[in-house]
């Protein structure tokens, strides 16, 4: 009985299977550990985590089948089956599949890289290949962007050559405020302090207005520059709120302002 157990055809397959399980377990743990070490996207959410989990499971499944095939071939070799021709056949089949689905595989790999490198996630506002819009769908094959005007760009992941993510960090809103010279610098800064208190009640405003000072003097007026740090893609709303609050303070003090007041823009 013992001799039968010690026969290579009996114990080697068992060893191969055990080693295969061990290799799969170790590599799976390394993949999970690598994912935990990755710096998370600032707005990581349930959808993002679910997508990452899907990709990890996909990689693990590919790994599992690869190890299983190698193990089966090793066991067949123990029983004297010629595996060289089988490997050659698998290689030919793999090459044919690779050529037939070359573009699909490129898109798949590109989609995986986009997700794991945190280039963007669903809900981000990005510019891809010159087209700006919100990411409404991020798939393994394609990315869909919706512009503010309603157009939707559907682009293969492998064709994405450049990405500008407008949602990754806080925006810096720079504003130039035109004011007549009759209003002193101290008076203007006092008005801005009151505007600042109102703005800080808005969650998208991250800190106090930074008063940068006079930017330029032109005729009978000067331009005072401020900077507001706000959440991504909120600068347009903050710009409007700033002008609204500024006008309220001007009206209270009956301050006369140049006509350019209504044309305050985001200026760097």
Q: Where are the domains of the chain?
A: 8-100, 119-165, 171-263
- pLDDT grade for 98, boundaries at 50, 70 and 90: low
The pair of three-digit structure tokens given for residue 179, joined into one six-digit string: 């004011």
The CATH number of 171-263 is 3.30.70.100
- The CA-based dihedral angle spanning residues 245, 248, 252, 257, taken in that order and rounded to the nearest 10 degrees: 100
Fold entry, domain 119-165: SH3 type barrels. (2.30.30)
Q: What is the domain class of 8-100 according to CATH?
A: mainly alpha
- pLDDT grade for 254, boundaries at 50, 70 and 90: confident
- pLDDT grade for 262, boundaries at 50, 70 and 90: very low
Q: Which residues of 226-251 are buried (b: 16+ CB within 10 A; e: fewer)?
A: bebbbbbebbeebbebbbebbeebbe
Percent of the chain with pLDDT over 90: 10
């Amino acid at each position: 009985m013992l001799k039968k157990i010690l026969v290579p055809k009996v114990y080697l397959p068992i060893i191969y299977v055990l080693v295969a399980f061990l290799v799969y377990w170790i590599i799976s743990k390394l993949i999970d550990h690598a994912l935990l070490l990755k710096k998370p996207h600032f707005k990581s959410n349930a959808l993002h985590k679910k997508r990452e989990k899907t990709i990890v499971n996909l990689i693990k499944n590919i790994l599992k089948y690869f190890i299983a095939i190698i193990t089966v071939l090793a066991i067949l070799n123990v029983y004297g089956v010629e595996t060289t021709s089988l490997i050659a056949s698998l290689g030919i089949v793999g090459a044919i599949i690779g050529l037939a689905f070359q573009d699909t595989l490129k898109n798949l790999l590109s989609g995986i890289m986009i997700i794991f490198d945190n280039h963007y996630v669903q809900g981000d506002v990005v510019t891809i290949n010159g087209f700006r819009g919100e990411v409404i769908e991020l798939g393994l094959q394609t990315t869909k962007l919706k512009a503010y005007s309603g157009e939707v760009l559907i682009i293969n992941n492998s064709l994405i050559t450049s990405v500008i993510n407008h949602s990754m960090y806080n925006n810096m809103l720079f504003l130039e405020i035109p004011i007549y010279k009759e209003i002193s610098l101290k008076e203007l800064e006092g008005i801005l302090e009151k505007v600042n208190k109102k703005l800080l009640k808005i969650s998208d405003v991250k800190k106090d207005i930074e008063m940068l000072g006079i930017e330029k003097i032109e005729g009978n007026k000067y331009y005072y520059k401020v900077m507001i740090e706000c959440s991504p893609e909120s600068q347009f709303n903050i710009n409007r709120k700033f002008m609204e609050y500024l006008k309220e303070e001007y009206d209270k003090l009956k301050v006369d302002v140049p006509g350019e007041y209504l044309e305050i823009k985001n200026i760097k």
